[in-house]
Structure 1
């Protein structure tokens, strides 16, 4: 059956009839017949409003929100004009009450306030927080949306203090909510919201009609948007780390305000401003960029034991342009998940809101890990998908691991000869360096060869470090003892009031397992590097420093990741286990150190062709050696 559209004229008609009946009853002594007619008219009005609301799939809190203004009290209007000028008209209407209009879609439950005309409550129906409480982005006065403007009679007004008249209609399958600040029957400033089925993005327009003689266009008109972001995650410090203000400016560039106590930035030609709350985001997008934007971010979490309600306070001041005496600014509003797939689907550069890493790190996440994990999580449970992806990454990086291990083996085999060179030329540093470089060149080995594979793996490791905290699909997905792969797992809670500095009030098992795996891995690799790397005269004892790192790195991992997403700790645990296994296989079944030694000896016998750079370096070192000998003879 085709859905009926809301007939606003029918509603107006019923309300006018009801007003006339009330007026007659007030001025004349009612008869029983008149009382009966009044009751019947009231019942018809209620039924009509109920049917109209059902036809629009909306829930209306108060039917008075949709009434047409009755003849205004002239004395009241004159008194209000002394305060509000032409906009006093808005305060004489029946909508001049602290009431809200409730509208629901598949994804939202929204409340529009008569006072201020903006959204006073935004509930995301499909999500709950860590404590199973529905996700509210706006509620209980944590947001402010205000236009500050001057009037032609030299007043300065704020829309937050004025009353708007609401109406709800249909535009095809879309629901249109209109909030009008009226200066007369046909003069108004309107906030127009158009909600689409199954869409987190809504069309939003600020426009005026007949207000050229009311609004002073020669003075700045500023749109101020403020939001204090609610805490939604178990760890407020972890959530706050990924809560930030992101904006796009200058034709596609993006930037953000950092994690400092108070951040302030002003940019020109701003396309959108996003208040990102780790896993949920509010975005205001403009079809034509704002000329300028002043943005402020303030950290509200000073003490995790006390500051548990909000994470940050965001504020933006955006100028509105007046053309022909009127305002007409078309925009969009997004209230929804910080999900890469959802944000990128709008083709508005909103995927830059996600902290996927800059440069090559973001590229790897966008084109490799996000599609790969999306495929794997569609086949396996999320925890298994992480393990499978880790296995695939480690297999892909195994050739690099192999080269690194071969390089370490070569250096370990050459160590006795390097020690001989150090002893033979202990009083001649220049000659010692020449002979050492010649040995490396003949043997086909280099102390840097072991570092290069590690540097090649760095983009992959860092990309994954950025991927897991940004993976919305892991939110509230359990695995083994972890209740939520996007938050920390807990195997023990300390007694109330007890907390270890930098560690927390709980014990997470995945970071412990990851730390143990890292310790074993570093014991294997760092121990071999210590055995193969000779100590250079005048240089720090790297062996001693690496020995400390064997214990320091796992301890740092344990403390740092105790409040991080358990999915990330799971990845590091599995990744290091696989790496240890690969290295054991390479050591015991692939690499033959006797063959490597024999190959090195063969390489040493072959005449080594020097390139131009090597020849130049050799000549420079020989000249330096001759100058040193000449200086010694003079002495």
Structure 2
């Protein structure tokens, strides 16, 4: 290193030292620098703690939402820019920035498992922040058959989710997202909000009125139009699944009356099969569909009709559940004028299948085409029978129920009313059989005059019998017509009792529930043949009904014996039918068997009364007098005689043909 280089380095070092000394901060400047460094250190520490807390929140959310990452992924998938929210906490802050005026922020944490409760005097609902869906529905006025609380569903027994699709057709589901509950100040409604920012969010709005089974449900999608597929903005796709609990002791009937119902828009209500697995794809507009068991139902009613639906039902062998229902539906969406908000409105009905309650929802609807017709969920028999129940049986029940009478007494009064109304027909039927009974000696003379079972002889004997009836003014068929007229009433009541929730858990004598079977003997396990036809019990009311029916059968056969020969086995047929009815009705509601027991008993009493007041000697004298009067054949008798002649002619032709064939052989 030469002399000049050394001098240069020394001069540079001297300049640096002089500059450092000249620019050295004073004590005040040094204190200010220390304050700045301390502030930076505190900010770094807070940032580290916040990031750790954010990671813990996201880890917890991911555990609760296995199918999707988190709220951030849901909205980023539906946002064109794919913008990222800083944290889930920021999402909750966004939800609080602009809540509706009528909403008050609750204390629910973003990953809280606490449920929101809406209730009135009739139902109690819990709504789960996860998925924003209804977690459970409890009927507060009703109990399960074992007297425990009655839930239509609870927990994973029901599943609801809204499906959306982004512009790349990627499926977005609300099922596993965590919503923020915003509860109204009056506690009657709650908005479950899934928010990305104050201007981008999805709301599920639930509103429950006082003293009602019907609840409003609205879906609002705000600020998402840029990132969603056009189909998702024109139709929301909803999925609803529900496993139906066994609520009643009589599982057989609960399965029989548990089915999916749906109503075409401005058209009829349709029932799906209750006994087999069935799936229906429906392209016509639907107003509502219902998941129904025997006495309770979950109904979803759209403000605008569902445009497409896939409904499926499956019978379950699970001891706790009877059916599994599923529905996939599309519902039209209404867009705001600026195209920023998309909404769809619904109503839920969670309640009893009670005729007057369901019919009451059409009270203020004047146009028949616009009526909901929810009362069609109550199965009252075929259309040509249901009018008996709608216009007679149900009003009678409601009237006496309003008087707080016991159900056993009401059924007794109803039976008396039916018997009084049909007594003229019963009297006419009895008179027809009485006329043929007093002519029995003359019929027996004809049997002796035309003995044997040869076809020609039988035809002559039948012809002579009809001539005798015609001369005496007796129509053998007049006793059948009154019975046929009474059949609609008897059949209507047969359909009414299994569907009448009024009988549910109403006790009478030894029966603790008139809506299902009463049992004096019951057993577990399977007894071949017996269990198949009787179930695992024997009903006392069914036994009483059967015994009374056998007594009436014996009495009636003696009273209607006209002396004519009958086909072999015909006398035993009525007794066989009585025994068959025991096996058939043993599992039917005890209220129905009680009604049949009373009805048959009253019929015996009425028939005996007729017999006491009708003088058969005078009746026979009147019939003998009729023989002397000129007779004009009635149209029926003329047709009957013509049919007999044709039958006799055909018999002769057949006899000739048989004779020819035998001769050729």
Deviations 1:153-202 (A, max 9, x none): 320122213232321115xx771221233343322332221110111101
- Whether the 8 Å contact between 1:192 and 1:205 is mirrored in structure 2 is yes
Aligned to 2:329: 318
Question: 2: CA distance between counterparts of 1:603 and 1:88?
Answer: 104
TM-score, normalised on structure 1? Answer: 0.78
- Whether the 8 Å contact between 1:244 and 1:259 is mirrored in structure 2 is yes
**Structure 2: runs of 5+ lacking an equivalent:** 1-39, 47-68, 93-108, 363-371, 661-665
Q: Is 2:315 the counterpart of 1:299?
A: yes
**Mapping of residues 182-261 of structure 1, within 5 Å:** 182-218=195-231, 221-261=236-276
Aligned to 1:408: 433
Range with bigger deviation, 416-425 or 217-226: 416-425
Cα drift, residue 399 of structure 1:
1.6
Q: Is 2:479 the counterpart of 1:459?
A: no
- Whether the 8 Å contact between 2:302 and 2:331 is mirrored in structure 1 is no
Range with bigger deviation, 160-169 or 511-520: 160-169
Q: Is 2:370 the counterpart of 1:367?
A: no
Deviations 1:489-542 (A, max 9, x none): 23333367778332233332211111111111122223444x227347xxxx2x
Match of 1:408, SS state, is: helix
Aligned to 1:279: 295
Question: 1: CA distance between counterparts of 2:569 and 2:442?
Answer: 22
Question: 1: CA distance between counterparts of 2:382 and 2:87?
Answer: 51
Question: 1: CA distance between counterparts of 2:269 and 2:571?
Answer: 40
Aligned to 1:167: 182
Question: 1: CA distance between counterparts of 2:650 and 2:319?
Answer: 70
Which of residues 148, 156, 169 in structure 2 aligns to 1:154?
169
Q: Is 2:614 the counterpart of 1:603?
A: no
Aligned to 1:358: 382
Cα drift, residue 570 of structure 1:
1.4
Which of residues 190, 194, 198 in structure 2 aligns to 1:177?
190
- Whether the 8 Å contact between 1:251 and 1:269 is mirrored in structure 2 is no
Match of 1:204, SS state, is: strand
Question: 1: CA distance between counterparts of 2:523 and 2:465?
Answer: 56
- Whether the 8 Å contact between 1:490 and 1:506 is mirrored in structure 2 is yes
Aligned to 2:37: none
Which of residues 557, 562, 568 in structure 2 aligns to 1:532?
562
Match of 1:273, SS state, is: strand
**Alignment: residue pair count:** 553
Q: Is 2:136 the counterpart of 1:113?
A: no
Q: 1:611 to 1:102 in 2, by over 3 A?
A: closer
Q: 1:624 to 1:192 in 2, by over 3 A?
A: closer
**Mapping of residues 560-571 of structure 1, within 5 Å:** 560-571=584-595
Q: 1:614 to 1:509 in 2, by over 3 A?
A: closer
Range with bigger deviation, 213-222 or 184-193: 213-222
Q: 1:26 to 1:617 in 2, by over 3 A?
A: farther
Which structure has the bigger radius of gyration? 2
Q: Is 2:346 the counterpart of 1:335?
A: no
Range with bigger deviation, 128-137 or 442-451: 442-451
Cα drift, residue 240 of structure 1:
1.9
Deviations 1:275-320 (A, max 9, x none): 122121111112232223222111113xxxxx32111111122112
TM-score, normalised on structure 2? Answer: 0.75
Aligned to 1:346: 361
Q: 1:428 to 1:394 in 2, by over 3 A?
A: same
Which of residues 139, 147, 153 in structure 2 aligns to 1:124?
139
Which of residues 382, 393, 406 in structure 1 aligns to 2:407?
382
Which of residues 492, 498, 506 in structure 2 aligns to 1:477?
506
Match of 2:431, SS state, is: helix
Cα drift, residue 256 of structure 1:
0.7
Question: 2: CA distance between counterparts of 1:464 and 1:256?
Answer: 21
Cα drift, residue 614 of structure 1:
6.0
Cα drift, residue 626 of structure 1:
7.9
Q: 1:534 to 1:224 in 2, by over 3 A?
A: farther
Question: 2: CA distance between counterparts of 1:207 and 1:273?
Answer: 22
RMSD: 3.5
Q: 1:617 to 1:385 in 2, by over 3 A?
A: closer
Cα drift, residue 441 of structure 1:
2.8
Q: 1:446 to 1:98 in 2, by over 3 A?
A: farther
Match of 1:138, SS state, is: strand
Match of 2:299, SS state, is: strand
Cα drift, residue 120 of structure 1:
0.9
**Mapping of residues 493-572 of structure 1, within 5 Å:** 493-494=522-523, 500-529=531-560, 531-532=561-562, 534-535=564-565, 541=567, 544-550=569-575, 552-572=576-596
Q: Is 2:288 the counterpart of 1:263?
A: no
Q: 1:440 to 1:263 in 2, by over 3 A?
A: farther
Aligned to 1:62: none
- Whether the 8 Å contact between 2:515 and 2:591 is mirrored in structure 1 is yes
